[in-house]
A and B are shown apart, each in its own frame.
Chain A
Amino acid sequence: MTTSGKTASAAYLRTTVAPPERPPPLTSGPLAWLRENLLSSPLNVALTLAGLYIVYVLVPPAVRFLLVDAVWTGEDRNACLVSAAGQPVGACWAFVASRLRYFVYGAYPDGQLWRVNLVFALCAAGIVWLLWTRAPRKDLGAIFFFGLFPVAAVVLLYGWPAIGLPHVHTSLWGGVVVTLVVAFAGIVVSLPFGVLLALGRRSRLPLVRLVSVTFIEFWRGVPLITVLIMANTMLPLFLPGNMSPDKLLRPLVGVALFASAYMAEVVRGGLQAIPKGQFEGAASLGLNYWQTTRLVVLPQALRIVIPGIVNTFIGLFKDTSLVSIVGIFDLMRTIEVSLADPRWATPVTAASGYAFAAIFYFVCCFGMSRYSIAMEKRLATGHKRQETDR
């Protein structure tokens, strides 16, 4: 290098600026990446080979089963039998297709399906309104989603003969509809109730605190399935003799209580993150407890815990499958029941039904978890901005 300084002596002045150069070959670019990340040591090479082997073992058979060898059309089991197709048979999507109506709507009467579809549409609109960060008037969205929509959904699904909607008994509901009803009832009840419980747990009144803590810890301490069985067997006992709660309503009560306890802990995390100065600031403005809570604390706390709420909802959504154990026809149960149908009895029927369920749950849960992660990132950057502002 001609520009090198004579470093042994004390003084040195750079006369010409060294321009940025390209890195030498094999230290950057895809080849370097390969060497760095996959082949940097013998152990790393071994790991790479092992990883590739796992991919080789898992991916091609999965693709073959789900797509290449899958049977897409057919009237009955004959379509999905090896002998009929004359080649190895993958997933029997024909079975899923023929049962799809049952998986989605259960036994809901044919002429009334528009009601379910309308509920789906309203639900989707509410979700977009609330979760899309740039949507206007979130407060109206919340009133719609947590206030109007549940009422509308009940009226539409259950019926109201006075306005021309005939009753559809809950025993006819099934599939995805029930799964969504259970999950939605859980979130609609648990969010406000969870907020109250969380506030109660941080109350300065000892009895309020005691009741909240006992309630929360009780439901968090027992498995959901025991709660569901309890709701099924004990709820009728606790109500006045002639009242026999609807079969679908019982697990809904159980799920709602259970979810409230978990939601309360999530909200409590948010409440704890509110700095003390916020309470002091509100007090110095002369706000009382409920004003402070409603106007200052909750808006901040709930925003912080949106990811936590979504995560709780993911858990709740997966847990709705447990209602199938106590005899409710949710998606899981409709699939289990369909698997026993002799008209579709083939070696691949069970695997196909489960694959369909797995895809449904995975798409929903994975989507929600991505959303929650994105929100977390947004929140994190928002906080950073606040810090640098100071």
Chain B
Amino acid sequence: MTSAAQQAGQSARHLGGAPVIRMIDVHKWYGEFHVLRDINLDVARGERIVICGPSGSGKSTLIRCINRLEEYQKGRIIVGDVELTNNIKRIDEVRREVGMVFQHFNLFPHLTILENCTLAPIWVRKIPKKEAEATAMRYLERVKIPEQAHKYPGQLSGGQQQRVAIARSLCMNPKIMLFDEPTSALDPEMVKEVLDTMVSLAMEGMTMLVVTHEMGFARQVADRVIFMDQGQIVEMNTPTEFFSNPQHERTKLFLGQILH
């Protein structure tokens, strides 16, 4: 763990005035199944949060509520100064400012890498094509694959595809990035290249919510680690405390299982 990263994390948290995401008493049901229970979470600007927990604990559902890929039945979620309601305009407003990276990349297979990156800026932000392409190339360079710009997603490796997916989100210039298990569909040798990209993004002060089991990443960049179980936030702490001194039985059990 670099002390620089830790430092950046601390300062970012202290920087934050009003939280950029507020989740207040959020509950969600799938039919009769209570999948999110009593979620209260404030995220400060520039804060990096890692969410972990056993499968089915509701961690993906939680971050998918933030850009309203999932509806919730009770509670409030406020992103920036927009409260999510059923109003389509507000949902659009939030989605424009919140980027998301998926487990299975979800690149558009019929479009080139460059077109993947320019689609939303052109049609949502109404940016001229040249400009959108220039921005896209800049981000593709940042994720270190500018030479693949004119290929199709199917021609790239998983790691490259995931980096493109990150670049594609960044092209919309989001204020918040959500990562839904970004490395769990990757072959082991490709995990690092994606994590490196995410670390450098964190260094620049992006607000990030990351669902992942990469505990090294959590130690390195997270300001807070959240452990979820049965749809609830069970424990939340700084990475140092969280890993060295877990409080809850379930947390201990979980860490015991994945840290070997």
Contact = CB atoms under 8 A, between A and B. Distances in A.
Contacts of B42: 7-8
A14 interface: yes
A223 interface: no
Interface residues of A, number: 20
Interface residues of B, number: 30
Contact of B29 (A4, A18, A23): A23
Contacts of B74: 24
A7 B40 contact: yes
Interface in A1-52: 1, 3-5, 7-8, 10-14, 17-18, 20-24, 27-28
B34 A21 contact: yes
B32 A14 contact: no
Contacts of A7: 40-42, 236
A14 B41 contact: no
A12 B237 contact: yes
Contact of A12 (B13, B223, B230, B236): B236
Contacts of B33: 20
A239 to B, nearest CB: 55
B236 A1 contact: no
B83 interface: no
A4 to B, nearest CB: 5
Given A3-B38, A23-B34, A14 B248 contact: yes
Contact of A20 (B13, B37, B238, B248): B37
Contact of B235 (A1, A3, A14): A14
B161 interface: no
A28 B32 CA distance: 7
A80 to B, nearest CB: 52
B233 interface: yes
Contacts of B38: 1, 3-4, 18
A4 B235 CA distance: 11
Given A1-B25, A7-B40, A12 B34 contact: no
B219 interface: no
B40 A1 contact: yes
Nearest to A20: B34
Nearest to B29: A23
Contacts of A17: 230, 232
A4 B40 contact: yes
Interface in B21-38: 25, 27, 29, 31-34, 37-38
B224 interface: yes
B233 A23 contact: no
A14 B37 contact: no
B247 interface: yes
A276 B37 CA distance: 50
B73 interface: yes
Given A3-B38, A18-B37, A22-B32, A10 B232 contact: no
Nearest to B31: A28
Given A17-B230, A20-B34, A22-B32, A10 B247 contact: no
B185 interface: no
Given A5-B233, A21-B27, A22-B32, A11 B238 contact: yes
A22 B13 CA distance: 36
B78 interface: no
Nearest to B33: A20
Contacts of A13: 234-236, 247-248
Contacts of A27: 29, 73
Contacts of B234: 13-14
A379 B12 CA distance: 54
Contacts of A28: 29, 31-32
26 contacts: A3-B38, A4-B25, A4-B38, A4-B40, A5-B233, A5-B236, A8-B19, A10-B224, A10-B241, A11-B236, A11-B241, A12-B235, A13-B235, A13-B247, A14-B232, A14-B234, A17-B230, A17-B232, A20-B34, A20-B231, A21-B27, A21-B34, A21-B37, A22-B32, A23-B32, A28-B29
Interface of B: 13, 19, 25, 27, 29, 31-34, 37-38, 40-42, 73-74, 223-224, 230-238, 241, 247-248
The 5 residue pairs across chains A and B that have the minimum distance between CB atoms: A23-B29, A20-B34, A12-B236, A27-B73, A18-B37
